[in-house]
Amino acid sequence: MPEAGNPKNVRLAAAQTTVREDPRDVEALHESGRGVRALMRQASARQARIVHFPEGAICFPSKLVMSVDGPDAAGPADWNRCQWPVLRSELAAIAELARELRLWTVIPSVHRLTGPNRPHNSLSAPRGAVPYSPRSGQRLEECLWI
| pLDDT of the chain, 146 residues: tens digit per residue | 444 556 667 889 999 999 999 999 999 999 999 999 999 999 999 999 999 999 989 999 888 988 998 788 889 989 999 999 999 999 999 999 999 999 999 998 888 888 788 888 877 776 554 444 444 344 444 455 55
Q: Where are the domains of the chain?
A: 18-132
For helices 26-45 and 84-101, what crossing angle results, to 10°?
A: 10
Alpha helices in the chain (DSSP H): 26-45, 63-66, 84-101
What's the pLDDT at 18?
92
What's the pLDDT at 138?
43
What's the pLDDT at 146?
52
- Which residues are paired to 105 by β-bridges? 51
Strands 104-111 and 120-124, bridge-based pairing: antiparallel
* Widest distance between CA atoms in the chain: 56
